[in-house]
Amino acid sequence: MLSQKAKYGLRALVELARADGAQLSAGELALRAGAPRKFLEAILLELARNQVVVSRRGKFGGYVLARPSPEITFAEVIRIVDGPLALAPCVSPRLGFRKCADCADLATCTLREALLRARDATADVLERYSLADAAASGLPESLRTAM
Protein backbone atom coordinates (compact mmCIF):
# COMPACT_ATOMS: atom_id res chain seq x y z
CA MET A 1 0.00 0.00 0.00
CA LEU A 2 1.19 3.47 -0.83
CA SER A 3 2.04 5.45 2.30
CA GLN A 4 0.69 8.90 3.07
CA LYS A 5 4.28 10.09 2.92
CA ALA A 6 4.60 8.89 -0.69
CA LYS A 7 1.24 10.44 -1.61
CA TYR A 8 2.27 13.83 -0.22
CA GLY A 9 5.64 13.62 -1.97
CA LEU A 10 4.09 12.73 -5.30
CA ARG A 11 1.47 15.47 -5.01
CA ALA A 12 4.15 18.06 -4.24
CA LEU A 13 6.28 16.89 -7.15
CA VAL A 14 3.32 17.05 -9.52
CA GLU A 15 2.78 20.64 -8.40
CA LEU A 16 6.44 21.38 -9.17
CA ALA A 17 5.98 19.79 -12.60
CA ARG A 18 2.95 22.01 -13.19
CA ALA A 19 4.99 25.04 -12.12
CA ASP A 20 7.12 24.45 -15.22
CA GLY A 21 10.48 25.41 -13.74
CA ALA A 22 9.19 28.09 -11.36
CA GLN A 23 10.41 27.81 -7.80
CA LEU A 24 7.79 27.05 -5.14
CA SER A 25 8.20 27.45 -1.39
CA ALA A 26 7.60 24.60 1.04
CA GLY A 27 4.54 26.46 2.31
CA GLU A 28 3.08 26.82 -1.17
CA LEU A 29 3.79 23.17 -1.95
CA ALA A 30 2.19 22.10 1.33
CA LEU A 31 -0.96 24.06 0.48
CA ARG A 32 -1.15 22.70 -3.05
CA ALA A 33 -0.42 19.11 -1.97
CA GLY A 34 -2.72 19.24 1.05
CA ALA A 35 0.17 18.18 3.26
CA PRO A 36 1.40 19.30 6.68
CA ARG A 37 4.29 21.66 6.02
CA LYS A 38 6.85 20.17 8.46
CA PHE A 39 6.10 16.64 7.25
CA LEU A 40 6.42 17.73 3.62
CA GLU A 41 9.71 19.50 4.34
CA ALA A 42 11.15 16.20 5.61
CA ILE A 43 9.94 14.44 2.46
CA LEU A 44 11.42 17.16 0.23
CA LEU A 45 14.74 16.87 2.06
CA GLU A 46 14.80 13.15 1.27
CA LEU A 47 13.94 13.87 -2.36
CA ALA A 48 16.70 16.49 -2.52
CA ARG A 49 19.24 13.98 -1.18
CA ASN A 50 18.22 11.68 -4.03
CA GLN A 51 18.51 14.39 -6.73
CA VAL A 52 14.79 14.61 -7.50
CA VAL A 53 14.43 18.22 -6.34
CA VAL A 54 16.83 21.08 -5.77
CA SER A 55 16.29 23.28 -2.75
CA ARG A 56 17.31 26.88 -2.51
CA ARG A 57 17.67 28.42 0.91
CA GLY A 58 16.92 31.87 2.14
CA LYS A 59 14.15 34.40 2.12
CA PHE A 60 13.38 33.73 -1.53
CA GLY A 61 14.16 30.02 -1.33
CA GLY A 62 12.09 27.13 -2.50
CA TYR A 63 12.12 23.99 -4.58
CA VAL A 64 12.41 23.10 -8.25
CA LEU A 65 12.66 19.75 -9.98
CA ALA A 66 16.24 18.57 -10.45
CA ARG A 67 15.44 17.06 -13.85
CA PRO A 68 12.72 17.52 -16.46
CA SER A 69 9.37 16.12 -15.27
CA PRO A 70 9.16 13.44 -18.01
CA GLU A 71 12.37 11.91 -16.61
CA ILE A 72 11.04 11.46 -13.05
CA THR A 73 8.79 8.43 -12.71
CA PHE A 74 6.34 7.50 -10.00
CA ALA A 75 8.36 4.30 -9.46
CA GLU A 76 11.52 6.29 -8.68
CA VAL A 77 9.74 8.49 -6.14
CA ILE A 78 7.93 5.61 -4.45
CA ARG A 79 11.17 3.65 -4.13
CA ILE A 80 12.87 6.66 -2.51
CA VAL A 81 10.05 7.33 -0.07
CA ASP A 82 8.56 3.87 0.62
CA GLY A 83 11.21 1.41 -0.53
CA PRO A 84 10.67 -1.54 -2.90
CA LEU A 85 7.53 -1.82 -5.03
CA ALA A 86 7.34 -5.56 -4.36
CA LEU A 87 4.82 -7.04 -1.92
CA ALA A 88 7.44 -9.48 -0.61
CA PRO A 89 11.25 -9.36 -0.45
CA CYS A 90 11.61 -12.53 -2.56
CA VAL A 91 10.28 -10.71 -5.65
CA SER A 92 12.20 -7.46 -5.29
CA PRO A 93 14.90 -7.40 -7.98
CA ARG A 94 16.38 -4.01 -7.03
CA LEU A 95 16.09 -3.41 -3.32
CA GLY A 96 16.25 -5.85 -0.49
CA PHE A 97 15.93 -9.18 -2.32
CA ARG A 98 15.88 -12.03 0.15
CA LYS A 99 13.94 -15.16 0.98
CA CYS A 100 10.89 -14.54 3.15
CA ALA A 101 11.44 -15.55 6.77
CA ASP A 102 8.60 -18.09 6.70
CA CYS A 103 9.48 -19.64 3.32
CA ALA A 104 11.26 -22.99 3.25
CA ASP A 105 12.38 -22.80 -0.40
CA LEU A 106 12.17 -20.09 -3.08
CA ALA A 107 11.93 -22.66 -5.88
CA THR A 108 8.84 -24.35 -4.44
CA CYS A 109 7.08 -21.31 -2.96
CA THR A 110 3.43 -21.36 -4.04
CA LEU A 111 3.03 -17.58 -3.60
CA ARG A 112 6.11 -16.30 -5.37
CA GLU A 113 4.87 -16.53 -8.99
CA ALA A 114 1.72 -14.47 -8.29
CA LEU A 115 3.68 -11.92 -6.25
CA LEU A 116 6.29 -11.67 -8.99
CA ARG A 117 3.61 -11.03 -11.63
CA ALA A 118 1.99 -8.38 -9.43
CA ARG A 119 5.35 -6.68 -8.88
CA ASP A 120 6.15 -6.74 -12.59
CA ALA A 121 2.76 -5.31 -13.57
CA THR A 122 2.97 -2.59 -10.92
CA ALA A 123 6.53 -1.69 -11.87
CA ASP A 124 5.62 -1.61 -15.57
CA VAL A 125 2.91 0.99 -14.95
CA LEU A 126 4.84 3.10 -12.44
CA GLU A 127 8.09 3.07 -14.46
CA ARG A 128 6.21 4.46 -17.47
CA TYR A 129 4.18 7.08 -15.59
CA SER A 130 6.07 10.33 -15.08
CA LEU A 131 5.46 13.55 -13.22
CA ALA A 132 4.72 15.13 -16.60
CA ASP A 133 1.96 12.59 -17.20
CA ALA A 134 0.42 13.32 -13.80
CA ALA A 135 0.78 17.07 -14.24
CA ALA A 136 -1.15 16.87 -17.52
CA SER A 137 -3.92 14.65 -16.15
CA GLY A 138 -7.10 16.43 -15.18
CA LEU A 139 -6.20 19.45 -17.29
CA PRO A 140 -8.21 20.56 -20.34
CA GLU A 141 -6.83 19.23 -23.62
CA SER A 142 -5.73 22.73 -24.70
CA LEU A 143 -3.48 23.04 -21.64
CA ARG A 144 -2.16 19.45 -21.91
CA THR A 145 -0.78 20.05 -25.38
CA ALA A 146 0.85 23.29 -24.21
CA MET A 147 2.86 21.45 -21.52
- More confident position, 105 or 94: 105
Percent of the chain residues topping a pLDDT of 70: 91
Residue pair 21/62 in contact (Cβ under 8 Å)? The answer is no
pLDDT at 143 over 50: no
For the segment 128-139, the average pLDDT, to the nearest whole number, is 90
> What is the tens place of the pLDDT at every residue in 23-48?
999 999 999 999 999 999 999 999 99
Give this prediction's pTM.
0.85
Which architecture, in CATH terms, is 4-67? Orthogonal Bundle (1.10)
> What is the tens place of the pLDDT at every residue in 42-71?
999 999 999 999 998 877 789 999 999 999
In DSSP terms, 54 is beta-bridged to: 64
Q: Helix (H, G, I), strand (E, B), or coil: what is residue 61?
A: coil
- More confident position, 83 or 36: 36
3: left (phi over 0), alpha (psi -120 to 50) or beta: beta
Task: Give residue 91's pLDDT.
Answer: 76
Amino acid identity, position 138: G
For the segment 93-108, the average pLDDT, to the nearest whole number, is 73
Task: Give residue 102's pLDDT.
Answer: 78
What is the overall mean pLDDT for the chain? 88
Task: Give residue 141's pLDDT.
Answer: 52
Which of 51, 19, 20, 46 is closest to 33 using CA atoms? 19
Residue pair 95/79 in contact (Cβ under 8 Å)? The answer is yes
Task: Give residue 31's pLDDT.
Answer: 96
Q: What distance in Å separates the CA atoms of residue 42 and residue 5, rounded to the nearest whole number?
A: 10
Q: What are the sequence ranges of the domains in the chain? A: 4-67, 70-136
pLDDT at 146 over 90: no
Q: How far is CA 103 from the centre of its chain?
A: 30
Q: What distance in Å separates the CA atoms of residue 127 and residue 19, rounded to the nearest whole number?
A: 22
Residue pair 9/45 in contact (Cβ under 8 Å)? The answer is no
